């Protein structure tokens, strides 16, 4: 869906695409799943002990509609949160081509930041994997530094196989610089 909307240059080839590691969405959706179960657990406690609400001066029989509304609103918010998590995971993307890196960062439902930087302007690409889970599951942070006066730094967190991704980008950078030195007129 989003990938087709990215305009590639003439003869530009996509080398690879990268999204966040699957562990990120699984852990966030698991927390949301626990939030979805919370009102049902409270309802179960209420059914086991009907006098529970009477401590607060409430009676379950008199407030069925209010309880149903609160549970419905809670579930709606939890499902909205799950949809936001999935949208953020699916639409955050790094596209590595033979000429540039395109970074798509979905910030909210209606807020997207698309950054592009050319491989020949790249000065440094590095990755870090900190912690037990990132090391075991092989995900980490990739940082790309561009040359120039303002020296932009682009970060992508929780990327799978950051060492392999760094190698792909480094090879693409080297190939691009080689092409530009052989044919300097091919700068686009």
Q: For 121-131, what is each residue's pLDDT tens digit?
A: 888 899 999 99
3-state secondary structure of 18: strand
Q: Is residue 151 part of a domain?
A: yes
Is residue 39's pLDDT more than 70? yes
Q: Is residue 173 part of a domain?
A: yes
Q: Is residue 82 part of a domain?
A: yes
Question: Quick one: 50 and 130 in the same domain?
Answer: no
The predicted structure's pLDDT at residue 185? 63
The predicted structure's pLDDT at residue 162? 95
Is residue 188's pLDDT more than 80? no
Please name which of 108, 153, 160 lies closest in space to residue 133, comparing C-alpha atoms: 160
Confidence of residue 57 (pLDDT cuts 50, 70, 90): low
Question: Quick one: 74 and 102 in the same domain?
Answer: no
Burial 124-150 (b: 16+ CB within 10 A, else e): ebebebeeeebeebebbbbbbbbeeee
The predicted structure's pLDDT at residue 186? 59
CA-CA distance, 5 to 40, in Å (whole number)?
Answer: 42
Question: Quick one: 163 and 127 in the same domain?
Answer: yes
The predicted structure's pLDDT at residue 9? 84
3-state secondary structure of 90: helix
The predicted structure's pLDDT at residue 97? 93
CA-CA distance, 122 to 175, in Å (whole number)?
Answer: 13
The predicted structure's pLDDT at residue 65? 78
Confidence of residue 75 (pLDDT cuts 50, 70, 90): very high
The residue ranking higher by pLDDT, 18 or 154, is: 18
Burial 48-84 (b: 16+ CB within 10 A, else e): eeeeebeeeeeebeeeeeebeeeeeebeeebeebbee
Question: Quick one: 181 and 107 in the same domain?
Answer: yes
End residue of a domain, out of 88, 110, 129: 88
Confidence of residue 8 (pLDDT cuts 50, 70, 90): confident
pTM over 0.95: no
CA-CA distance, 95 to 75, in Å (whole number)?
Answer: 35
The predicted structure's pLDDT at residue 55? 61
* E-only strand ranges, the chain: 14-18, 93-97, 100-108, 111-118, 122-128, 139-146, 153-160
Question: Quick one: 63 and 123 in the same domain?
Answer: no
The residue ranking higher by pLDDT, 54 or 10, is: 10
Q: Is residue 2 part of a domain?
A: no
Instruction: Determine the structural domain holding residue 114 and report its residue range.
Output: 12-19+96-186
End residue of a domain, out of 46, 71, 88: 88
The predicted structure's pLDDT at residue 153? 79
Question: How many structural domains compose the chain?
Answer: 2
End residue of a domain, out of 70, 88, 106: 88
Q: Is residue 114 part of a domain?
A: yes
């Amino acid at each position: 869906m989003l990938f087709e909307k990215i305009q590639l240059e003439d003869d530009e080839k996509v080398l690879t695409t990268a999204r966040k590691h699957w562990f990120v969405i699984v852990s966030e959706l698991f927390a949301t799943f626990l939030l979805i179960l919370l009102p049902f657990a409270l309802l179960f406690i209420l059914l086991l002990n009907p006098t529970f609400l009477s401590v607060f001066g409430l009676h379950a029989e008199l407030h069925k509609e209010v309880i149903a509304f609160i549970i419905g609103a809670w579930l709606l918010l939890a499902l909205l949160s799950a949809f936001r998590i999935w949208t953020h995971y699916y639409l955050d993307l790094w596209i590595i081509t033979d000429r540039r890196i395109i970074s798509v960062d979905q910030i909210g439902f209606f807020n997207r930041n698309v950054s592009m930087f050319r491989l020949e302007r790249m000065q440094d690409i590095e990755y870090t994997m900190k912690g037990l889970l990132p090391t075991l599951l092989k995900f980490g942070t990739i940082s790309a530094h561009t040359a120039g006066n303002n020296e932009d730094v682009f970060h992508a967190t929780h990327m799978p196989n950051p060492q392999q991704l760094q190698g792909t980008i480094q090879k693409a950078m080297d190939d691009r610089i080689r092409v530009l030195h052989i044919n300097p007129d091919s700068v686009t």
